[in-house]
Amino acid sequence: MFLSTTLVILQIGMLACQPEEARAPQPDPSLPNSTRTPLSPDDLTVAPGSGPAVIAREQARAEASQILVPTRTDFECGHGSPDDYEPVYPSNIIDITHSYYFQELNAALARFPTIGFDKYSLAVVTEAFKRRGGLRDVEAVLDVGTGTGAIAIMALAYGAKRAVGTDLDPLAVKNAAYNASNMGLVDRLEIRQVPWEDQGAFSPIRPGERFDLIISDPPQGYDARQQRPYPEIRGSLERPRESFFTSDPGACFLKSFIEGLDEHLSDHGRAWLVMKVQQGKAMVHAMARQEGFELRVVFSAQRDIDTSGKRRVGDQDMPDLSWSAEILELSRAAQH
């Protein structure tokens, strides 16, 4: 559920240069725990040419206006045990796998091994901050699933007074706390561990604690029939830790996030979700309507960024999904 926010690991290989166009499949009768939610073309922005088969399948479903939305799971959401966690050894000496220069802070952000960091998603969020005119009017930001702490740190760089970052992965909590200390932000950025016994999106947030902006770059893999794979199939995946912390079976995290927003948004607060796959976008639309929130697209990589003639750079074993990223803003009625 709580997944290091800024990287979605989908084991689907590299993007193809010239992907084959997908055809809309028939609804899958093997998914009894899903309902079909019809969506208008205005609800979703579909990218031309998807690349990986899983993205192509969701694109085709979106075009067919037949998105499968999980309504229940075959397992209990939001509960676990610390036994599910396997640390990176030796635990007292942690590698810095990569570092990334933050121009806004004139400082480098460190990434520990297995902790997700999607620089493409961060670029989309940063551009949205710029187009908003900064965050100087924002008193408090909550970054749910903070990972390296990158989004929370960038929010502070753009004027937010203080921020809280949360994560289920104890290594991510160490990573974000290291970056806050290294960048001199410990007085403005608080990092909190999500308890294993209650993995809901707002479980580390105190009663009555509210935020002007709540942000999450959530996991984008949903399966109502399968629990997160780690550690039950430990050894059967090449990178089980990443798979465990970057999957959201049954959309358990997404549901807890949207259902808990009203309690933790300030009077004029807003929530941003960075969504990339069509099924996830459809679920946010459906859940927002169910919970009575207004929803709008505040930033679309397809619409607002010209990527024509630009080549992709970065890790070649990780598909860049930012071309389809949209920031979906949820707010209470009559706040726009």
Classify residue 184 as exposed, middle or buried by CB count within 10 Å of its CB (0-12, 13-18, 19+).
exposed
Q: What is the CATH number of domain 34-75+118-331?
A: 3.40.50.150
For residue range 117-173, what is the model confidence (pLDDT) as tens digits?
Answer: 888 889 899 999 999 999 999 999 999 999 999 999 999 999 999 999 999 989 999
Q: Which residue has the higher pLDDT, 322 or 16?
A: 322
pLDDT bracket for residue 79 (50, 70, 90): confident
User: What is the dihedral sign for C-alpha 164, 167, 170, 176?
Assistant: negative
Task: Quick: pLDDT tens for 80-105.
Answer: 777 777 777 788 899 999 999 998 88
Range with the poorest average pLDDT among 60-64, 99-103, 218-222: 60-64
Instruction: Map out the domains of the chain as residue ranges.
Output: 34-75+118-331
Q: Would you state the pLDDT for residue 38?
A: 36
113-135 burial, b at 16+ Cβ within 10 Å, e below that, comes to: ebbbbbbbbbebbbebbeeeeeb
**Cα dihedral sign for 138, 143, 149, 151?**
negative
H or E element: which one contains 177? helix 170-182
Instruction: Supply the pLDDT for residue 52.
Output: 43
pTM score, two decimals? Answer: 0.75
- Name the H helices within 183-336: 240-245, 252-264, 278-291, 301-304
Q: How far is CA 61 from CA 37, 41, 104, 174, 241, in A?
A: 11, 12, 40, 39, 30
How many angstroms separate the CA atoms of 30 and 162, rounded? 46
Dihedral sign of CA atoms 184, 185, 190, 191 in order: negative
The rounded percent of the chain whose pLDDT value lies above 90 is 46
